Structure 1
Amino acid sequence: MQLADSGFLSIDGHSLEYRMVGPRPDAAPTIVMLHEGLGCVGLWGDFPDKVSEATGCGVFVYSRAGYGQSSPVKLPRPLTYMHIEAREVLPKLLDMIGARRHILFGHSDGASIAALYAGSHQDHRLGGLILMAPHFFTEDVGIAAIAEARQAYETGDLRAKLARWHKDPDNAFRGWNDAWLDPDFRKWDITEQLAYIRVPVLIVQGEGDQYGTVAQIEVAERECYCPVDVALLSGAKHSPQREAPEATLAAVADFTAHVLANNGWERAA
């Protein structure tokens, strides 16, 4: 399909909003960005534009079902919702946009989905993974921060803030928060999939990440057979693209340049 700058894709009965920056997939490698658990197209701000400019790649961002202007999901979400996104939705999306040479760039939940995809698909089009603030297993510190988010949503101004970005903020928040705080989610662990990843990985994490510790990095370094580069950023928490934008962009640009060179992929002129 010929991608417009923005629009909607229809996948599995859901209408998914997207935005495309820079050269299209038939003209240059594409960085496909997967947002965090409460993210969407709009919440990336101008970061996709900066990534495209710094790398020479096209950048494709989209809102998963339940987020942004995409159609809502049925609640409660299954606790395997990230597996479903990785194994059922993302492959169809990549085919639909005509991705031929791509890097997956996931943030938080999006990073987990990207890792699950790479660990369960032998995709010759995939050149690398950028995992920002990833989760490979649950930690007490992360569960505590998610519980605090519920309090902020129910008694503070978090709902009003999310309503600026999500047409159904309750669907977006509950779909994420209720799943993570389900007692059975304590058993969620995708570290087994890391050994099946066959492309280089960059992990970007803030030193002050309130949702995860360096144990997430350590398990990736231990379990992955592929190269794992790490950018552990001071002064950043769970959103390095906003809290340490220059350092984050530099790490992403450097990693992408190596992926393009190692695969013989040419960036846009």
Structure 2
Amino acid sequence: MALPSVQRVFLESIASSSDPEGRFIEVNGIQTYYKKVIPQSHKHLLQNQHFIPNETNKPVILLLHHILGNLYTWRHHMQPLADATGCHVIAYDRPTFGFTERPTKWEEGQNPYTQEASVDFAVQLVANLGYKNRKIAFAGVSGGGGIICAIAIKYPDLVHSLILIAPSIRPEDQGPPPIGRHILGSAPGRLFIKIALYQYLPLTLFYHNTNSIPDWETVVKPTYRVPLTLPNFYESFSWLMKYFVPLNILPNKDILTQKPILYISGDDDRYLHVDKHREVFDEIASTPTSSTSHPNFKMEFKVINECGHLPQDEKPQEVLNSIIDFLISLQI
């Protein structure tokens, strides 16, 4: 048996000391850091019967974080979501971010840093955790929202519902323009990334008011900065930019409307203005298949006051309440 890489051993060591509830699983050859929670009402069964019950008619809830984020962003949501819905809830660090391994080489056609790879990666993760062919209620913030839309387009039969939190869906909103990605994917660009992120991460531009977030300076900010010290972070982020091609979402909006959608935006989103979010929502909602005659038709647009681009961080309780109300309305 081959010995694990130094990177894997190091990531496991740091992760276990940071959060003992986190776990690792291999997905498409990548050691992936994730957390899974089950309803409190099920935990006594797990202790007594040595299995995790999950009703076959219940979907799994999968949470996808934003670029430069990690699963920590869902710290206020996972257990309450599980308890309120009776579902298992999973969050993971997307490749490049958090404690998930960052490959330095790959076979042709297996580049883990493309957007298409991110789509298949999420689906494979759920399957590897034992939920193959189970319906999934997806929640994604910013770039994570774009990925879950692409999953719904490619794998519609797997999707129970979509919760889009300040999603980046239009091509011009999905990261920097091509020339910017080319620069960031170069050696000088990598140096710029290192200097900029070391100085400014987490980006306060994404928030309405960081002073409203408890423990921002002592806990939240340092946690988001941990990946800056981990192996291959800057290289992998540079590759992510180099190979970034926007996902083709809105041309397939007729597929999206076949699933229930909750769209959440902050009123002070300085990255994607709330009016742009409203335009995207209206464009999706106006497709011919969006009619009350469609059995799965349900679309809601929610604006959260005094909130920026990352509502799950800045207004976690309001986001949590909105998600729970939405899923319960679907008789989850």
Task: Give the aligned partner of residue 117 of structure 2.
Answer: 84
Cα distance between partner residues in 1 of 2:135 and 2:78: 17
Select the residue among 248, 252, 255 that pairs with 1:196: 255
Deviations 1:36-55 (A, max 9, x none): 11122234333322332343
Shift of 1:155: 6.5
Task: Give the aligned partner of residue 48 of structure 2.
Answer: none
Shifted more, 169-178 versus 216-225: the winner is 169-178
Select the residue among 36, 56, 76 that pairs with 2:86: 56
Shift of 1:119: 1.2
Are 1:96 and 2:128 matched, yes or no?
Answer: yes
Task: Give the aligned partner of residue 18 of structure 1.
Answer: 34
Cα distance between partner residues in 2 of 1:155 and 1:70: 20
Task: Give the aligned partner of residue 77 of structure 2.
Answer: 47
Measured on the aligned residues, the alpha-carbon RMSD in Å equals: 3.5
Are 1:70 and 2:113 matched, yes or no?
Answer: no
Amino acid of the residue matched to residue 164 of structure 1?
Answer: V
Larger radius of gyration: 2
Task: Give the aligned partner of residue 215 of structure 1.
Answer: 276
**Equivalent residues of 1:37, 1:176 under 8 A apart:** no
**Equivalent residues of 1:136, 1:216 under 8 A apart:** no
**Equivalent residues of 1:142, 1:212 under 8 A apart:** no
Q: In structure 1, the residue corresponding to 2:263 is in which secondary structure?
A: strand
Shift of 1:92: 1.7
Task: Give the aligned partner of residue 164 of structure 1.
Answer: 226
Shift of 1:33: 0.5
Task: Give the aligned partner of residue 32 of structure 1.
Answer: 62
Aligned pair in 2 of structure 1 residues 25, 177: CA closer, same or farther (>3 Å)? farther
Shift of 1:156: 1.7
Q: In structure 2, the residue corresponding to 1:195 is in which secondary structure?
A: helix
Aligned pair in 2 of structure 1 residues 10, 247: CA closer, same or farther (>3 Å)? same
Shifted more, 165-174 versus 15-24: the winner is 165-174
Amino acid of the residue matched to residue 266 of structure 2?
Answer: G
Shift of 1:83: 2.5
Shift of 1:157: 4.5
Amino acid of the residue matched to residue 120 of structure 1?
Answer: K
Aligned pair in 2 of structure 1 residues 25, 10: CA closer, same or farther (>3 Å)? farther
Shift of 1:200: 0.3
Task: Give the aligned partner of residue 174 of structure 1.
Answer: 238
Shift of 1:117: 0.4
Shifted more, 217-226 versus 32-41: the winner is 217-226
Task: Give the aligned partner of residue 113 of structure 1.
Answer: 147
Q: Specify which structure has the higher proportion of strand.
A: 1
Deviations 1:126-185 (A, max 9, x none): 2211111101114479759x99x95972572428954414634424643555667xxxx6
Shifted more, 109-118 versus 202-211: the winner is 202-211
Cα distance between partner residues in 2 of 1:67 and 1:105: 18
- TM-score, normalised via structure 1 length: 0.77
Cα distance between partner residues in 2 of 1:192 and 1:131: 17
Shift of 1:196: 1.1
Shift of 1:194: 2.1
Question: Across the two proteins, how many residue pairs are aligned to each other?
Answer: 249
Shift of 1:9: 1.7
Aligned pair in 2 of structure 1 residues 193, 9: CA closer, same or farther (>3 Å)? farther
Amino acid of the residue matched to residue 127 of structure 2?
Answer: D
Task: Give the aligned partner of residue 312 of structure 2.
Answer: 241
Task: Give the aligned partner of residue 9 of structure 1.
Answer: 25
- TM-score, normalised via structure 2 length: 0.64
Amino acid of the residue matched to residue 55 of structure 1?
Answer: T
Aligned pair in 2 of structure 1 residues 170, 128: CA closer, same or farther (>3 Å)? same
Amino acid of the residue matched to residue 170 of structure 1?
Answer: Y
Task: Give the aligned partner of residue 196 of structure 2.
Answer: 153
**Equivalent residues of 2:94, 2:100 under 8 A apart:** yes
Structure 2's unaligned 5+ residue stretches are 1-19, 40-51, 185-191, 203-220, 291-296
Structure 1's unaligned 5+ residue stretches are none
**Equivalent residues of 2:63, 2:139 under 8 A apart:** yes
